[in-house]
């Protein structure tokens, strides 16, 4: 049988393959969506034919495509175009300028929404906007701002749109703050149940179906820009199956997925969990689908009574007395059908009680071969790590502490924060560990913030959380974001490495992850992303190689004007967004005559933030030295 023809050759690169048998290479050949050869330039170029596309990588660093083991991608894609992102912005002043500008272009009855992905600690001011400040820039347009899962800020127009007034009762586990006259102020608090925040957000207008398709495509391209080629979707509140999966399934049928998605099914209503999973185990089998879209099992919500909360401003919640019985009923269904499952568990106390259930079920229905795992596990102890390892389980960790570390320290102290979560210890004890973000609401989807957190132990606000004993090196961190994550989607042999026969998924980086100073890790993006042998994103010298996206819909969409995650030393390819990204650092009107960047006060802003320990560097031109 003849060998398949080589369709794409990438040469003159610095490949980190994560393949122990062939750890370094300078070139790869790709055929039929997989790596058909990995080696040096001379060896690979001998495979070229007249039909091969050859791309010179200019000695850039190349890594396997990143996979996020816990991302709420399907839900996030449905509304990505509607959301104003504050992810990565260095100051509240910058955030409020964006808010004011977006209010000016958003037509009635639409809302302006900032739906998580940031923390007040990332801002130079170390605070959120006041309700008066929000109402001043948005007197008539509804504004909803979600901060982590602890609170939401609504202006007066949003309160009216939600129907909240002096007679609106507090929901269970939530607080609608009211003034001395009994009128809602616009502050909603999770105490500690985030359902109040979900419910308020759900009252806003949704995009029509065609716009949701467009929005999801733009969100995929944003993932590709950051080097992501895959994710495990963890379901989510108000994400009903199969209704809310139609958009992603239709994109899959049309061949328009540029991200590999393994999805978990997340129960939606307390008291109906057994019914949900009984029905779903008859509809789907784990692994149903293909390499781009496949079913991955149950969770992260298995039963409502077992779900603790990650709001570290609130005391740890105790799970309900009947939690064990509820959880056992569902786990027996899953184990009987050999379904993989995942369970949200922030605190060790929750994990202990869940493990009691898992061990009991395992005695009757062995978990052999079932990939089950906890999500989060910030305060897990060594005793429970031993129990998890003995049961063959895993832990998917996320960089939530990078966004909430300061709040954890305020409540529990810096000593307790030193192993939240103890990811290095997990690896030492033989637990399967993978990395992710828990985006888009509780933290940002940017994988480079998570990698930075893993190797430095620092929050986005600059607080150093962990001693050296809880940190890992850069290659190990990269493995947790690539090869290790394949265990969590039962794809160990087909992805996660640059290796003969595996999916041809990779990212060519803007800067060398292994060489740049720690603070510059967060600034990295991909300049060329390949998924299944297709170039799905290109920037810098590769900007013309990827197919263009259709314009964002609607035309007033924040993403159309601001792009996605803000990285101040980078600019988005489109001209209008490029200038606007630079302008957000400065309120002055002066421009560099060569580059068009704002400067003057912008230079002082950049210097101030750098001195505070941040990573906000110059845009790389002389205008910053004015």
Q: Could you give the residue range(s) of every CATH 3.20.20.140 domain in the chain? A: 278-289+300-489
For residues 397 and 422, give the distance between their C-alpha atoms in angstroms, rounded to a whole number: 9
Question: Is it true that domain 278-289+300-489 has CATH number 3.20.20.140?
Answer: yes
CB-CB neighbours of 308 under 10 Å: 20
pLDDT of 449 > 70? The answer is yes
Confidence of residue 235 (pLDDT cuts 50, 70, 90): very high
Question: Taking all residues of the chain, what is their mean pLDDT, rounded to a whole number?
Answer: 91
**Span 120-146, average pLDDT:** 98
pLDDT > 90: percent of the chain: 89
pLDDT of 617 > 70? The answer is no
For residues 586 and 579, give the distance between their C-alpha atoms in angstroms, rounded to a whole number: 11
CA atoms within a 13 Å half-sphere pointing along the CA-CB vector of 355: 24
The crossing angle, in degrees rounded to 10, of helices 348-364 and 323-336 is 50
Confidence of residue 530 (pLDDT cuts 50, 70, 90): very high
**Span 229-236, average pLDDT:** 97
Q: What is the pLDDT of residues 237-252, one digit of tens each?
A: 889 999 999 999 999 9
Q: What is the pLDDT of residues 15-72, one digit of tens each?
A: 999 999 999 999 999 999 999 999 999 999 999 999 999 999 999 999 999 999 999 9
H or E element that contains 220: helix 209-225
Q: Could you give the residue range(s) of every CATH 2.30.40.10 domain in the chain? A: 8-65+505-542
pLDDT of 609 > 80? The answer is no
For residues 513 and 57, give the distance between their C-alpha atoms in angstroms, rounded to a whole number: 15
Q: What is the pLDDT of residues 285-296, one digit of tens each?
A: 999 999 999 999
Partners of 295 in beta bridges = 263
Confidence of residue 603 (pLDDT cuts 50, 70, 90): very low
Architecture of the structural domain at 8-65+505-542: Roll (2.30)
Q: What is the pLDDT of residues 352-404, one digit of tens each?
A: 999 999 999 999 999 999 999 999 999 999 999 999 999 999 999 999 999 99
pLDDT of 268 > 90? The answer is yes
pLDDT of 614 > 90? The answer is no
Confidence of residue 2 (pLDDT cuts 50, 70, 90): low
* Residue pointed to by tokens 């003034």: 179
pLDDT > 70: percent of the chain: 90
pLDDT at 570: 57
* Adjacency order of strands within the sheet including 112-115: 112-115, 143-147, 151-154, 184-190, 174-178
**Span 105-116, average pLDDT:** 97
User: Which residues are CB-contacts of 110 (< 8 A; sequence separation ≥ 6)?
Assistant: 82, 141, 142, 205, 556
Confidence of residue 568 (pLDDT cuts 50, 70, 90): confident
For residues 234 and 236, give the distance between their C-alpha atoms in angstroms, rounded to a whole number: 6
pLDDT at 4: 77
What does the CA dihedral 198, 202, 207, 212 come to, rounded to 10 degrees?
40
For residues 538 and 529, give the distance between their C-alpha atoms in angstroms, rounded to a whole number: 7
Omega prior to 192 cis, within 30 of 0: yes
pLDDT at 612: 33
Query: What's the whole-model pTM score?
Result: 0.91
């Amino acid at each position: 049988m003849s060998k398949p023809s080589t369709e794409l050759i990438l040469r003159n690169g610095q490949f980190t393959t994560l393949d122990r048998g062939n750890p370094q290479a300078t070139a790869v050949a790709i055929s039929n969506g997989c790596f058909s050869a990995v080696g040096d330039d001379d060896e690979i170029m001998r495979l070229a034919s007249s039909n091969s596309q050859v791309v010179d990588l200019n000695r850039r660093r190349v890594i396997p495509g990143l996979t996020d083991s816990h991302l709420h991608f399907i839900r996030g894609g449905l509304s990505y175009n509607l959301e104003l992102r504050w992810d990565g912005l260095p100051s509240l002043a910058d955030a409020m300028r964006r808010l004011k500008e977006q209010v000016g272009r958003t037509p009635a009855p639409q809302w302006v929404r900032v739906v998580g992905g940031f923390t007040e600690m990332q801002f130079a001011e170390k605070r959120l906007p006041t309700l008066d400040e929000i109402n001043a820039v948005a007197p008539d347009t509804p504004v909803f701002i979600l901060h982590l899962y602890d609170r939401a800020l609504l202006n007066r127009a949003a309160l009216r749109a939600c129907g909240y007034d002096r007679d609106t009762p507090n929901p269970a586990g939530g607080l609608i703050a009211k003034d001395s006259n009994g009128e809602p102020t616009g502050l909603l608090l999770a105490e500690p149940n985030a359902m109040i925040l979900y419910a308020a957000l759900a009252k806003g207008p949704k995009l029509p179906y065609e716009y949701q398709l467009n929005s999801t495509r733009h969100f995929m391209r944003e993932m590709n820009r950051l080097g992501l080629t895959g994710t495990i979707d963890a379901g989510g509140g108000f994400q009903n199956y199969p209704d809310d999966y139609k958009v992603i399934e239709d994109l899959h049928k049309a061949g328009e997925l540029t991200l590999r998605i393994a999805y978990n099914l997340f129960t939606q209503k307390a008291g109906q969990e057994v019914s949900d999973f009984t029905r779903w185990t008859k509809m789907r089998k784990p692994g149903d689908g293909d390499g781009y879209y496949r079913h991955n099992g149950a969770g992260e919500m298995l039963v409502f009574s077992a779900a603790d909360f990650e709001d570290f401003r609130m005391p740890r919640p105790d799970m309900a007395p009947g939690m064990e019985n509820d959880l056992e009923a569902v786990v027996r269904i899953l184990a009987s059908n050999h379904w993989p499952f995942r369970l949200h568990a922030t605190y060790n106390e929750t994990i202990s009680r869940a493990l009691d259930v898992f061990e009991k079920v395992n005695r009757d229905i062995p978990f052999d071969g079932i990939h089950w795992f906890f999500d989060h596990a910030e305060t897990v102890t060594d005793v429970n790590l031993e129990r998890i390892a003995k049961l063959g389980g895993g832990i998917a960790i996320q960089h939530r502490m990078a966004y909430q570390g300061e709040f954890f320290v305020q409540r529990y102290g810096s000593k307790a924060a030193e192993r939240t979560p103890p990811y290095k210890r997990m690896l030492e004890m033989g637990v399967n560990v993978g990395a992710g973000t828990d985006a888009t609401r509780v933290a940002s989807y940017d994988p480079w913030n998570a990698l930075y957190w893993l190797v430095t132990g620092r929050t986005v606000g600059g607080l150093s959380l962990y001693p050296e004993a809880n940190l890992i090196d850069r290659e190990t961190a990269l493995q947790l974001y690539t090869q290790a994550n394949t265990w969590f989607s039962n794809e160990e042999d087909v992805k996660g490495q640059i290796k003969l026969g595996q999916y041809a998924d990779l990212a060519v980086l803007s800067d060398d992850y292994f060489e740049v100073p720690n603070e510059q890790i967060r600034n990295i993006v991909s300049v060329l992303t390949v998924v299944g042998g297709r170039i799905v994103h290109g920037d810098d010298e590769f900007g013309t190689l990827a197919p263009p996206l259709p314009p964002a819909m609607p035309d007033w969409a924040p993403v159309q004007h601001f792009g996605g995650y803000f990285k101040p030393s980078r600019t988005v390819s489109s001209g209008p967004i490029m200038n606007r990204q630079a302008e957000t650092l400065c309120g002055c009107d002066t421009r560099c005559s060569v580059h068009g960047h704002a400067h003057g006060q912008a230079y002082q802003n950049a210097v101030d933030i750098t001195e505070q320990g941040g990573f906000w560097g110059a845009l790389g031109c002389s205008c910053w030295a004015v």
